[in-house]
Amino acid sequence: MQYVSTRATSASAARNPHNFSDILLGGLAPDGGLYLPEQYPQVTGAELDAWRSLSYAELAYEILRKFATDVPDADLKALTAKTYTADVYKNARADESATQITPLRVLEQSPERTLILQGLSNGPTLAFKDMAMQLLGNLFEYALAKNGDELNIFGATSGDTGSAAEYAMRGKRGIRVFMLSPHKKMSAFQTAQMFSLQDPNIFNIAVEGVFDDCQDMVKAVSNDLEFKVRHKIGTVNSINWARVVAQVVYYFRGYLAATTSNDQKVSFTVPSGNFGNICAGHIARMMGLPIAKLVVATNENNVLDEFFRTGVYRVRKSSETYHTSSPSMDISKASNFERFVYDLVGRDADRTHALFRKVDTHGGFDLSGGPGSDGDEFKLVAKYGFQSGCSTHADRLATIRDVFDDYGITIDTHTADGIKVAREHVEPGVPMIVLETALAAKFNETILEALGTDAARPAGFENIEALPQRFVVMHANVAEMKEFIAAHTGLAK
């Protein structure tokens, strides 16, 4: 399996294909694009039948070996077995089994509508990001140990990526983590989860701005190839291909658990801000998984919903980005969206490059086919199964109350966005699976507002906000950030 950049034009420095190990530790390609396989591996009906009886770790191995063809099978099997265990994913609800890793819970079932919640938040930081990040930590350590090398991870988070990355990388040999987050814009629980870590290889940087400012700095540093090489910079954001492909696994798991025959289809609704989570669903569908619809659920920052309704991709300025009660989706520039657009425009790297150059210069592009638009590819979106919807704070409160009253479970704010939008798109005969985003305890402020009581917390998280916190506050300044990284890697600027 070989990988190419979405911007691999004839003039691109990344036009030559790379194998999985070549791109594992990096993020952006040298030309600023994102890596994708030259072609998506296909899954047969016989394979789906055989996979129905596998454990999550075994399923992860079978899927990942299609993408990481240069990693010895025995090594990959050992890595997935080490990652996906009941000891790591132990924070299941009382009525769930930790051995299932991503258990399904049927919320509604009738000939007219079947609504299912897939639990993805049983990992150490209580968020779906653990599903990929725990594997990424083990893959990174494996690759670095083989070469006796080290890596400085530079990433950005709107809430859950940061803690998932830090918990996965803490204590890992040869790895430092520099994690940016928007200052005072995460929940108190999310902030404490990250900032309370005292590990010497973890550096938390609170940026005066919004998530997009943090993400822009990660991209700016990644695009400085000389600095990136000198300081051995890698990333764990969803621009990293290995993280996206690890998320493909739970789409297969959800489908296989919800069906009994490969003739059946399911749909997925996915709370989405940066398009990484649902991009994994797109890849699963392109591999041949019988997915009817992929429904993008956004909050008030509805850049993706606007595109899937109109064909117009219009990023917002920092001042136009809302701070909401589902803060992990407070994103107005979806990094992984480029991977889908590359497929949408027929894998034309020149066209993809031109469109995203226009994002930088004009704030977006228009594929609606109307007067003055940049193209008419929006008409092709339907064949990829995408639909969308958005949710507001009032919707979140109402959905949290409804789910608690009807099913006796407490969901987090992002999952509430997903359920609200899923109900608008569910269709007879096709189960709708909503991907859970996090445990409700991570957003207790809104749970208290909705239900009048605190969300339950797993053991060990009772007083996390009271722990001492270690972080620095910085301006959204790339030069200052580079100086900080250089000073703490022991290398000259």
Q: Distance between terminal CA atoms of the chain?
A: 36
Q: What gap in Å lies between CA 239 and CA 225, rounded to an integer?
A: 16
Of the candidates 129, 172, 293, 442, the residue annotated as catalytic is: 129
To the query of whether residue 219 is one of the catalytic residues in this protein, the response is no
Q: What gap in Å lies between CA 377 and CA 380, rounded to an integer?
A: 5
The answer to whether 187 and 442 are in contact (CB under 8 A) is yes
Pairing, β 312-314 against β 175-182: unpaired
- Residue whose C-alpha is closest to residue 90's, from 122, 46, 121, 52: 122
Q: What gap in Å lies between CA 25 and CA 46, rounded to an integer?
A: 33
Enumerate residues 6+ apart whose C-beta is below 8 A from 139.
24, 79, 242
Q: What gap in Å lies between CA 471 and CA 153, rounded to an integer?
A: 16
Give the pair of three-digit tokens for residue 32: 């600023």
Q: What gap in Å lies between CA 2 and CA 267, rounded to an integer?
A: 29
- Tell the burial category of 492 from Cβ atoms under 10 Å away from its Cβ (0-12, 13-18, 19+): exposed
**Chain centre distance of CA 172:** 22
CA atoms within 13 A on the CB side of 415: 32
- Residue whose C-alpha is closest to residue 57's, from 108, 101, 12, 115: 101
Amino acid making up residue 232:
K
Q: What gap in Å lies between CA 304 and CA 421, rounded to an integer?
A: 13
Enumerate residues 6+ apart whose C-beta is below 8 A from 163.
125, 127, 129, 157, 190, 193, 194
Residues annotated catalytic, as ranges:
129
